[in-house]
Structure 1
Amino acid sequence: MLILPTTDARLEPYRLTGSPLVARAPKAPLTRTAFAAAHVVSDPLLERSPWDGRPAVDWDTTLAFRAQLWDQGLHLAEAMDTAQRGMGVDWPTALELIQRTMAAAKAHPMRPRVACGAGTDHLPLADLTTPDAIAAAYETQAEAIEAAGGQLILMASRAFTAIKAGPDIYHSVYRRLIDGAAQPVILHWLGDMFDPGLAGYWGSTDIAAASDFVLTLIKENPAKVDGIKISLLDQAHEEAFRARLPPGVRLYTGDDFNYAPLIAGDGTHHSHALLGIFAAIAPAASQALEALALGDLATYNRLLDPTVPLSREIFRAPTRFYKAGIAFLAWLNGHQRHFIMPAGFQSSRDITHYAAVFRLADAAGLLARPDLAEARMAQLLALHGVEQT
């Protein structure tokens, strides 16, 4: 039993009650494409200047975390915001991550898909003030990703909003990137709840106008667009948007609040997945998708429904700090030896948040090794002055 803090500054006893899900490969081919966006594991013994320098990465542990996702039939979204792009992880580190991950993926028996984030973050915003400069920056990263064998995710870039770009600039840059890519790309629409610097993306603060623009962009050359990831935390918008997509273009939900009904679909349309939360709930996600493929909606809901309160806590405002919850669960479940993140990002959330995540993960059957999770939670509580009796 643990003594856990509450949001109103009380301490309450808590006893683990969940039945852990056992991670395994799916027993049937999945009918939804599911990318899990994974985090980066630090090497705290090599870290020297966590706020100002390049992060020291524990490469073996970082790649082992990805391998266990692949073992469960999930694909990987690499070097995305979940991996702290622009929030502790720079482009040189991201590129090394991509290269190492692609080599590991090619050797993995599940032959997973890996889609990798291409952006403009190797250059300062002061150097990205024209459409040509923005496009060339994207192309630098895209060429490196394609050389490693990765599929492109054209990450949303703060460079557009920094120059208050209108739709014409977005159109010229994205048309050049989509048409020039070696294989169909995944577009990336990240709401300002994930990154305040992306407010007004696609050249408008009006979501309807932005939607019309990006749909037109896709319809100009749908053969070169695999899909679009939308992370606006708005279920109704996503459902309306995906119904307007050209045949063959996927909607990859990035809605970490409403993914369960969006992936299940409405009988006519459904979303696929490109989600940070899937890295944290992999056994439930994999086995729920298996059930969906077998037509067992009751089991799908039974497995995924308890993960939604957990995801909503991890992704609660300020949403951009959600990466801490992903790494926290990886530590509790024995996927890494410590709870230290690039740039000291673990400090972005408070102890009551981690206590809530602990409770909700237990309820969802996602504490794989309960004794270990309890011991590590006790360590974190002690560091925050909550001694166990």
Structure 2
Amino acid sequence: MTLLLPDASGELRAYRPRSEPVVHAAGLPLRSRVVYSAAHVVADPMRTAADAPAAVDWDATLAFRHHLWSTGLGVAEAMDTAQRGMGLDWPVAAELIRRSSAEARLTGGRIACGVGTDQLAGAAASGAGLAEVTAAYEEQLAVVEEAGSQAVLMASRALAAVAKGPDDYLEVYGHLLRQSADRVILHWLGPMFDPALVGYWGSDDLDAATETFLEVIAAHPDKVDGIKVSLLDADREVALRRRLPEGVRCYTGDDFNYPELIEGDGEGFSHALLGIFDPLAPVAAAAVSALDTGDAAGFRALLDPTVGLSRHLFEAPTRFYKTGVVLLAWLAGFQDHFTMVGGLQSARSLPHLARAYELADRVGLFADPELAEARMRGLLAVHGVDA
């Protein structure tokens, strides 16, 4: 049986979906790499509106975290994939951090939570200076530490707006690292993910920005567990990780080049904190399990075929990748609807979504291919396509 899927030109073409699921077996726990999936939130479709505060289905959202932990992956909570700054406001993010951290303690799952300054959005940001940005970071850091989770210091739109140069970044991050209770993960999110972060670390020149970033780490190596690099530039990430102090991990955030970065080379490798591992969790876990046994070829055989899907989901405008992530969660049966916080399900075109379904089906991502096909047919029908 075939589906009629629209291509980029709007033309319909026949696609025959997979009929049998692919089983991805991971040997738990994962040993050779520390791997986090940045996790999405499940909206409450009965209360969600594009112009209203975020409404979250807590049961479905937390159940998805348990799915990720069951594969052996850690959860990177309340980060970009959870629509921070794109529908998920700080009060709901704080609740998400508390709830997920409590579940992690119950199950023994690894968790790290995003710390930002998004309570300064809108009118609150208009008069903000470095002191206000620092205070906003401190408020969120306290929430994460009180919840018993590791902190990820995320890039701040407010800091990017008020910082006059590298010294301001050194001051703010130095203050936060000196007072943090535990080692944190620093996050460098590139402007392809968020245009408001152009010039982060005090320069549009990435080489100069890298020096400032490394200066922050060098001044506080005992407070930095690792860095997450989301610049979609594999060569830059490799060069950066080779300059990290002993004991500071590099977590790749490169959703274009993750197989080779995680595999590494003779001089090192990257761990992972990736949005694409939200839909790819079983495949990613099985791949890292292969790497745990020294089977690099098996690792690449599992992960390389997923790169086409990832590059499709993260194509420009990259910040809308969350739409494809939530689509795949719905098709896979992890939630009952394709509704997103802030109405972001409308951010991608039907041809883009159809291609995401096809690429995911080709790599065997759906444990129930028939369910995925039925739901895709329903989505096509809503858009007037008799598939």
Give the TM-score category using the shorter length: over 0.9
The Cα offsets for residues 342-385 of structure 1, whole Å up to 9 and x where unpaired, read as 01101000010111111111111102210000000000101111
**What whole-Å deviation, never above 9, does each CA across 1:236-256 have from its counterpart, x for those lacking one?**
000000000001101110000
In the alignment, is the contact (CA less than 8 A) between 2:130 and 2:162 conserved in 1?
no
2:69 touches 2:110 (CA, 8 Å); kept in 1?
Answer: no
Q: Which runs of 5+ in 1 are unaligned?
A: none
Query: How many angstroms apart in 2 are the aligned matches of 1:190 and 1:311?
Result: 17
Rounded Cα–Cα distance in structure 1 between residues aligned with 2:125 and 2:34: 38
Give the distance between the partners of 1:198 and 1:20, measured in 2 at CA.
41
* Distance change in 2, residues 1:88/1:29 (3 Å): closer
Maintained 8 Å contact 1:231/1:254? yes
Conserved 8 A contact 2:8-2:351: yes
Q: Describe how 1:214-363 pairs up with structure 2 within 5 A.
A: 214-363=213-362
Matched, 1:158 2:157: yes
Q: CA 1:171/1:230 → structure 2, altered by over 3 Å: closer, same or farther?
A: same
Counterpart position of 2:58:
59
2: CA distance, partners of 1:284 / 1:274: 15
Name the % identity: 55
- Structure 1 residue 30 displacement after superposition: 2.2
Question: Is 1:46 equivalent to 2:43 in the alignment?
Answer: no
Instruction: State the 1:18 CA deviation.
Output: 7.2
* Cα distance between partner residues in 2 of 1:28 and 1:335: 23
> What code does the residue aligned with 1:309 have?
G
CA distance in 2: counterparts of 1:29 and 1:223, whole angstroms: 25
Secondary structure of 1:115's aligned partner: strand
The code of the aligned residue for 1:35 comes to: Y
The amino acid across from 2:314 in the alignment is F
C-alpha deviations, 1:86-105, integer Å up to 9, x for none?
A: 10110000011111101111
CA distance in 1 between partners of 2:156 and 2:5 (Å): 40
- Alignment pair present for 1:37 and 2:34: no
SS at match of 1:270: coil
1:132-182 C-alpha deviation (Å, 9 max, x unpaired)? 211111001110111111111111001122124311110010000011101
Q: Give 1:26 shift.
A: 2.3
The 3-state SS of whatever aligns with 2:44 is: coil
Query: Where does the alignment leave 5 or more consecutive residues of structure 2 unmatched?
Result: none
For residues 102-121 of structure 1, the C-alpha deviation after alignment (integer angstroms, 9 at most, x for no partner) is 1111111xx12211111111
Q: Is the 8 A contact 1:306 1:363 kept in 2?
A: no
2:153 corresponds to which letter in structure 1?
A: L
Cα drift, residue 221 of structure 1: 1.5
Q: For residues 27 and 183 of structure 1, what CA distance do their matches in structure 2 show? A: 26
Q: What is the rounded CA distance, in whole Å, between the counterparts of 2:229 and 2:367 in structure 1?
A: 30
Greater CA deviation, 235-244 or 3-12? 3-12
Q: Which shifted more, 60-69 or 22-31?
A: 22-31
Q: 1:298 to 1:332 in 2, by over 3 A?
A: same
What CA deviation, in whole Å up to 9, does each residue of 1:190-248 have, x standing for no partner?
A: 00000000000000000111111111110111010001101000000000000000011
Q: Which amino acid is 1:10 matched to?
A: E
Answer with 52-61 or 82-91: which moved more. 52-61
Contact residue 98 and residue 116 of structure 1 kept, 8 A: yes
CA contact (8 A) 2:41 2:82 kept: yes
What secondary structure does 1:349 align onto? Answer: coil
Q: Using the TM superposition, give the Cα deviation of residue 29 of structure 1 relative to its aligned residue in structure 2, in angstroms.
A: 3.6
- Show the counterpart of 2:9: 8
TM-score normalised over the length of structure 1: 0.96
What aligned pairs does 1:44-193 form with structure 2 within 5 A after superposition?
A: 44-47=45-48, 50-108=49-107, 111-124=108-121, 126=125, 129-193=128-192
**Who is 2:368 aligned against?**
369
Query: Whole-Å Cα distance in 1 between the matches of residues 20 and 109 of structure 2?
Result: 29
Give the drift of 1:274: 0.5
- Distance of 1:351 and 1:79 partners within structure 2: 27
Q: Supply the AA of the counterpart residue of 1:351.
A: L
Q: Contact 1:27–1:290 at 8 Å: present in 2 too? A: yes
Q: Cα RMSD over matched residues? A: 1.3
Task: Report the secondary structure of 1:252's partner residue.
Answer: strand
TM-score when scaled to structure 2?
Answer: 0.97
Equivalent residue letter for 2:301: R
Q: Which amino acid aligns with 1:65?
A: F
CA contact (8 A) 1:28 1:293 kept: no
What amino acid is aligned across from residue 239 of structure 1 in structure 2? Answer: V
1:285-310 CA distances to partner (integer Å, 9 max, x unpaired)?
A: 00000001111111111110111000
Q: Whole-Å Cα distance in 2 between the matches of residues 376 and 284 of structure 1? A: 22
Deviation, 1:46, is 2.6
Count of residue pairs brought into register by the alignment: 384
